[in-house]
Copies of this chain bind each other. A is one copy, B any other.
Amino acid sequence: MPNNPEKKASAKIGDMPKEEFRKYGHEIVDRIADYFENIDKMPVLSQIEPGWLSENLPENAPLDGENFSSILDDMDRLILPAVTHWNHPNFHGLFSTSTSSVGIFGEMFSAAYDMKAMLWRTSPASTELEPVVLDWLRKMMGLPPDFSGIIYDTASISTLHAIAMARERIDLKIRENGMSGRTDLPLLRVYCSEHTHSSIDKAVILLGLGQRSIVKIPANEKFELDHEKLSEAIRDDIAAGHLPLCVVATIGTTSSTSIDPVEKIADICERNNIFLHVDAAYAGSAAIVPEFQSYFKGWERADSIVTNPHKWLFTPFDLSILYVKDKDLLKQTFSLVAEYLKVAETVTNQMDYGIQLGRRFRSLKLWFVMRYFGQEGLIARIREHCRLARLFAGWVDESENFEMLAPVPFALVCFRANPSKIEDLDALNEKIMNDINASGEAYLSHTKLNGKLALRLSVGSIRVERRHLEKIWDLLNEHLNAEIANH
């Protein structure tokens, strides 16, 4: 029995007593520290069956409050087994997450202050820190000062705002008059490569442009948008009376991290007065590394660029940045001020720059990350991820039983097993991937490249080391050998 039994929260008013906050707060910090220290030993992919967690939860919230200690017990008993560990150094699926401890510290303060950054006065700290930190990053990425940034939650929302700006820019009074009940609107067109992220499609659907507005330009054998085909498509569309609205070019596609020819695309956009949005949600972080700057050539000519520090800049989810050249256009796209939000200040009110009225204090965690690691520390970590990815790609290249399926500009390796004895390589690779994932030893994902099922190995955890890549390389070879033996 504890000396001071904790009184149930339902038996009184107010917040958790301060002694309890300290006690459990410290306990959670220790639990998170233990989690990171032991994460190597946990299965990467949750081993539960679908439905297991739901079935183990009661059908109703408890009537009386519970002690927080019993909630913490359930974190071990119920939640942890249902977590797929994105922070595990052998999580190589999708894009690995790069969360750092200091990023978590930023989230702690942000949750405690619980500001809704809508007006300057309701959140001066967030309103003023954000542009400063985004300017730090802009300089590190080598972007000119005519770009200014704003933080949204996800790349989907950043991209949505970019294409909304493009729609506003053509001055067909869509903000005022909409697109329904009109006969004066040409078909509006958005161009991107067939490798562009699905968030473009979702944004176009949401904006009322419809899927037929999207023109998917074929890519070349290296998965880069074919700029000549883009040029033709635009020419044909204009001839048909359609109106080109926006081109989305990607630096670091999700499938293979391929790089569209941004310089050439910028030429085409300039010539035709089309809004250019660059999706660098994943790869943007690599622009801080001097020797990778060449991959980003031409992006300074874009109208907007999205990059996600929550992907690869050691910042917990969510924090996506949209850099735009014309911030007034962004404001004009959405700004609406209700009476209860009217204030006299001539300051920036962040609510004027997007669909969300309130915003979390997200710049704080990025500020922590940039200061704690410093420019050199950030560069070194990104560089190391890319070095490890190339190292792994080298093992693939040297192996008789595996082959590379795409170049490795950043830290994603697309490859497959191709032993001479087995014919259905898609089925083989899918089985190897599923078996490894199911084992919990490591996690890979897949994509289709030139009609072939490719395994995707992403290197991005802050905890990843050479030994983790050796481990998955061994796993891949073991599983392949077992398949060959069983063949």
- One of B24, B255, B384, B462 near A15 (C-beta < 8 A): B462
Give A241-267 as 1s and 0s: 1 = Cβ < 8 Å from B's Cβ atoms.
Answer: 011000000000011000000000000
Task: Please determine whether B83 and A358 come into contact, CB atoms closer than 8 angstroms.
Answer: no
Surface stretch bound by B, among A98-106, A216-224, A396-404: A98-106
Contact indicator per residue, chain A 48-63, by CB within 8 Å of chain B (1) or not (0):
1011111001011111
Q: Mark A449-463, 1 if CB is under 8 A from B, else 0.
A: 000000010000011
Given contacts A18-B33, A109-B32, contact A61 B10 (CB under 8 A): no
In the assembled complex, A318 has its CB within 8 A of some CB on chain B: yes
A183 at the interface (CB under 8 A from B): yes
Number of copies: 2
A-B contact pairs, 19 of them (CB 8 A): A10-B373, A13-B384, A14-B462, A21-B36, A22-B33, A25-B30, A46-B125, A50-B124, A57-B132, A61-B374, A82-B128, A86-B113, A157-B355, A157-B356, A177-B211, A180-B209, A206-B206, A206-B334, A340-B445
Q: Give the distance in Å from the alpha carbon of A54 to the alpha carbon of B132 in the complex.
A: 7
On whether the beta carbons of B112 and A210 are closer than 8 Å, the reply is no
CB proximity to B under 8 Å, residues A368-388: 368, 370-377, 380-381, 384
The 5 closest A-B pairs by CB, nearest first: A178-B210, A208-B208, A181-B187, A10-B377, A25-B29
User: Which B residues are in CB contact (< 8 Å) with A183?
Assistant: 183
Q: Which residue of B lies closest to A200 (CB)?
A: B336
Contact partners of A156 in chain B: CB under 8 A: 355-357
Q: Does A427 contact B (CB under 8 A)?
A: no
Within 8 A of B (CB), among A106-125: 107-116, 118, 120-125
Interface membership of chain A positions 68-107, coded 1 if the CB is closer than 8 angstroms to chain B and 0 otherwise: 1001000100010011111100000110010111111101
Report if A66 contacts B (CB, 8 A): yes
Known A18-B33, A75-B109; further 7 A-B contacts with Cβ < 8 A? A10-B377, A53-B132, A57-B132, A60-B139, A65-B377, A66-B374, A255-B339
At the interface, yes or no: A471 with Cβ under 8 Å from chain B?
no
Docked pose: A448 CA to B115 CA in angstroms: 25
**B129:A57 contact, CB within 8 angstroms:** yes
Contact B136 A375 (CB under 8 A): no
- Chain B residues contacting A254 (CB-CB under 8 Å) are 338, 340
From A140, which residue of chain B is reached at the shortest CB distance?
B61
Which of B63, B182, B376 has a CB less than 8 Å from the CB of A376? B63
Given B160, B164, B181, B212, which contacts A242 in the complex, CB threshold below 8 Å?
A: B181
Whether a CB of chain B sits under 8 angstroms from the CB of A345 is yes
Q: Which residues of the partner chain B approach A447 to less than 8 Å between Cβ atoms?
A: 339-340
Task: Please state if A122 and B94 are interface contacts (CB–CB under 8 Å).
Answer: yes
| Chain B CB within 8 A of A390 CB | no
| Residues of chain B contacted by A350 (CB below 8 angstroms) | none
B375 touching A83, Cβ below 8 Å: no
Whether B26 contacts A210 by the Cβ 8 Å rule is: no
In the complex, which residues of chain B have a beta carbon less than 8 angstroms from the beta carbon of A107? Answer: 107-108, 110-111
Q: Output the nearest chain B residue to A316 by Cβ-Cβ distance.
A: B111
Is A364 interfacial (CB 8 A cutoff)? yes
| In the complex, A411 has a CB within 8 A of chain B | no
CA distance A144 to B475 in the complex (A): 50
Known contacts A101-B16, A105-B25, A373-B9; decide if A356 and B153 are in contact (CB<8 Å). Answer: yes
A125 CB → nearest B CB, Å: 4
Q: Provide the residues of chain B in CB contact with A334, threshold 8 Å.
A: 202, 205-206
Q: What is the CA–CA distance of A111 and B364 in the complex, to the nearest angstrom?
A: 14
Q: Cα distance A422–B205 when bound, in Å? A: 55
Q: Which has the most chain B C-beta neighbours within 10 Å: A8, A210, A242?
A: A210
Rounded to whole angstroms, the CA-CA distance of A204 and B102 in the bound complex is 39
A179 CB within 8 Å of chain B: yes
Residue A199 at the B interface, CB < 8 A? yes
A28 in contact with B109 (CB, 8 Å): yes
Q: What are the residues of chain B within 8 A of A136 when measuring CB–CB?
A: 59-61
The docked-state distance in angstroms from the alpha carbon of A101 to that of B153 is: 23
Min CB distance, A456 to chain B, in Å? Answer: 7
| Contact between chains at A116 and B97 (CB < 8 Å) | yes
Given A16-B100, A99-B114: A131 in contact with B340 (beta carbons within 8 A): no
**A300 within 8 A of partner (CB):** no
Residues of B within 8 A of A8 (CB): 374, 377
Contact (A210, B175) CB under 8 Å given A13-B381, A107-B107: yes
Shortest CB–CB separation between residue A428 and chain B, in angstroms?
Answer: 16
Residue of B nearest to A129 (CB): B53
CB distance from A15 to the nearest CB of B (A): 5
